[in-house]
Structure formats: structure tokens, C-alpha cells
């Protein structure tokens, strides 16, 4: 995450999206969650969040995007409530959220915003939390929230909270396309219909020295949600076809959807005819990014 302090009592944080370059669901766990194996990559699409300490108690969130849900189940609120409980905070927080990451697209925007809230609280209130402390707190909010306290690229296992940072090539481009379709993560897992006894061996990346070698390795895996979603939601297949026709060397769904992405060795010249006919599709051209360490 990228931080700009405005005053001693306020700051702006750029909270990045992430893509799942591959995603396997290995088995269902007795606690109701699932073990996964995935490669998380932070990308250059950011929510811009202004945090300011306030005289009132609690948290007030303002945003022009009404899809985020600014009530108690918002992950930003959950993150602040967690800090309030742990540290007995009486200080309040005002939040202005400029939402640029598509909601419900499988790009981790809500998790990134929650991580940004933990970081803002730590810095503004001088709580003295280490990176590992922040990861532990983040894991209590959501499985992929701890990722945003890494350098921006990691293999995720367990529920997604066990992270092994990697140094794979990042010199390529990603074209993200998100239709007006919000897919339930819980329903996506339920659709896999795994039992407690089912399991499979996790995919492992080999040595990748170039972006093309990385793409070749990624073709050996996939996204376990993508097949069922392409059948249920034909728009995803249409997006995949458009990305391939635009020259993508690999096309995949991120997370449990609904965002699709294409990988390119060089910045593509967008064929506007492929996307202009679908004005409801959100199109973002991004790159992998490394995140500062906090």
C-alpha cells in the first residue's frame, strides 16, 4: 500500500487490487473453509482512501459509490472495530473512500481497503504494530487481507492467509475486464461440492526467468471456479473471447469472479471495437506492482 501523510492527523492510502494468477481449491476443511493454492499479484489499480482522526467516537465512511455498503458489515468498519477492541480506542475515524476497484469482481478491493484501515490506524495513532502484527490482525478480518502487508506477490495456501513471498517476473501487462455481475464467493465454493475427504496435490510453479516463461508455467494450472462460472454466466466466455482476440497470451478469471484478465508481454493497443459494444464492461489496463514494506 502507498501512503501520503497530509497532516499529523490525516493521510491518504492507495489500496491496490490483486489478481489470482492461478487458483486451486484443494479440499474442504472441518471448520467450513477451504484450503486453496493460489498466486496473488498486486496490480496498479487503486482505491484512494483518505483517513482522518475525528473527535467523535466510532467510524464514519463516506463514498460516492453506493455498492460498497457503509454499514457494519463493511470490511473497513470491521478493521476499525478490531483496533477499537484491541486497543480500547476512544478516538474516532472519518473515511473518504474513492472506489476504483470493481466491487464483487474477485480483485480483493474490500480486503485491500480493510488492510489500509489497519495501516492507517497503526500510523495515525502510533500503535507500534509490526508487519507480522498487522498480518495477524488482518487474518481475523478476511482470508486474503494479510496479503496486502507483503511485497505484492505471494503464493497463498491454507485459507489464503499463509503466504510465501515470491520473486517472479513482473514485466508484463494485464488487461482487466469486469462485467456488471457480482458473484458470491460462498456460492462459488458451494458449487464446487467438495467433501471433507476429497483433496488434490497442489500445483507448483517451476523456475521462471521471463514473463513468457511465467505464462507458459501458468498454463499448466487454472482457476477452479472458472469452468462452472463460464457455463452459468455466458458473458464471461464472451469477455475471454474478446481478450484472446485482442492478443492476450493467457486469459483467466480472478478469484471467484467476475473479473476476467488477459496477460500481455507488451502493452496492448486496445481494439475498441471489441469492448465499445459493451459499455457496461469496466476495462482497466494495469501492471504488476511491488508494495512498500510497513
Long-range CB pairs of 232-235, under 8 A, 24+ apart, other chains included: 233/179, 233/181, 233/183, 233/257, 233/258, 235/179, 235/181
Question: Catalytic residue at 99?
Answer: no
Query: Residue 249 has what pLDDT?
Result: 97
Query: Residue 46 has what pLDDT?
Result: 97
Please give the order of strands across the beta sheet that includes 250-253: 250-253, 260-264, 173-178, 282-286
Query: Residue 122 has what pLDDT?
Result: 96
The C-alpha cell of 192 is what? 464446487
Question: pLDDT tens, position by position, for the chain (294 residues)?
Answer: 899 888 889 999 999 999 999 999 988 888 878 889 999 999 999 999 999 999 998 899 998 776 555 565 689 999 999 999 999 998 999 999 999 999 888 999 999 999 999 999 999 999 999 999 999 999 999 989 999 999 999 999 998 889 999 999 999 999 999 999 887 777 777 767 776 666 678 889 988 999 999 999 999 999 998 988 898 899 999 999 999 998 999 999 998 878 999 999 999 887 666 676 778 899 999 999 999 987
Q: What residue spans in the chain does CATH classification 3.30.70.890 cover?
A: 173-286
Looking at the DSSP bridge assignments, the partners of residue 153 are: 41
Query: Residue 271 has what pLDDT?
Result: 67
Domain 2-165 in CATH 3.30.930.10: no
Q: What residue spans in the chain does CATH classification 3.30.230.10 cover?
A: 2-165
How far is the CA of 283 from the CAs of 186, 216, 259, in angstroms?
26, 25, 10
Query: Residue 198 has what pLDDT?
Result: 66
Positive or negative: CA dihedral 290, 142, 138, 58: positive
Question: Catalytic residue at 47?
Answer: no
Query: Residue 272 has what pLDDT?
Result: 63
Given the residues 4, 18, 99, 171, the one annotated as active site: 18
Given the residues 67, 144, 204, 271, the one annotated as active site: 144
Query: Residue 16 has what pLDDT?
Result: 98
173-286 belongs to which homologous superfamily? Answer: GHMP kinase, C-terminal domain (3.30.70.890)
- Are 75 and 67 in contact by the 8 Å Cβ rule? The answer is no
Q: What distance in Å separates the CA atoms of residue 105 and residue 102, rounded to the nearest whole number? A: 6
Can you give the length of the chain in residues? 294
Amino acid at each position: 500500500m502507498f501512503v501520503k501523510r497530509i497532516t499529523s492527523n490525516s493521510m491518504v492510502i492507495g489500496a491496490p487490487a490483486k489478481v489470482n494468477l492461478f487458483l486451486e481449491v484443494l479440499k474442504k476443511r472441518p471448520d467450513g473453509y477451504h484450503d486453496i493454492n493460489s498466486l496473488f499479484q498486486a496490480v496498479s489499480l487503486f482505491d484512494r482512501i483518505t483517513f482522518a482522526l475525528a473527535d467523535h467516537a466510532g467510524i464514519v465512511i463516506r463514498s460516492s459509490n453506493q455498492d460498497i455498503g457503509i454499514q457494519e458489515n463493511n470490511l473497513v468498519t470491521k478493521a476499525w472495530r478490531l483496533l477499537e477492541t484491541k486497543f480500547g480506542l476512544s478516538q474516532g475515524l472519518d473515511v473518504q473512500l474513492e472506489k476504483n476497484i470493481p466491487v464483487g469482481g474477485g480483485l480483493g478491493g474490500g480486503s485491500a481497503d480493510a488492510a489500509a484501515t489497519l495501516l492507517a490506524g497503526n500510523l495515525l495513532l502510533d500503535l507500534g504494530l509490526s508487519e507480522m502484527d498487522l498480518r495477524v490482525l488482518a487474518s481475523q478480518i478476511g482470508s486474503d487481507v494479510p496479503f496486502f502487508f507483503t511485497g505484492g506477490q505471494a503464493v497463498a495456501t491454507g485459507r489464503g492467509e499463509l503466504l510465501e513471498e515470491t520473486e517472479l517476473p513482473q514485466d508484463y501487462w494485464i488487461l482487466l475486464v469486469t462485467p456488471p455481475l457480482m458473484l458470491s464467493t460462498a456460492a462459488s465454493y458451494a458449487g464446487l461440492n467438495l467433501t471433507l475427504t476429497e483433496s488434490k496435490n497442489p500445483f507448483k510453479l517451476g523456475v521462471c526467468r521471463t514473463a513468457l516463461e511465467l505464462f507458459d508455467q501458468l498454463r499448466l494450472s487454472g482457476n477452479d471456479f472458472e469452468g462452472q462460472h463460464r457455463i452459468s454466466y455466458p458473458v464471461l466466455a464472451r469477455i475471454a473471447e474478446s481478450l484472446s482476440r485482442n492478443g492476450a497470451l493467457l486469459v483467466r478469471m480472478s478469484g471467484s469472479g467476475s473479473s476476467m484478465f488477459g496477460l500481455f508481454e507488451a502493452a496492448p493497443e486496445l481494439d475498441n471495437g471489441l469492448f465499445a459494444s459493451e459499455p457496461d464492461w469496466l476495462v482497466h489496463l494495469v501492471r504488476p506492482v511491488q508494495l512498500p514494506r510497513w
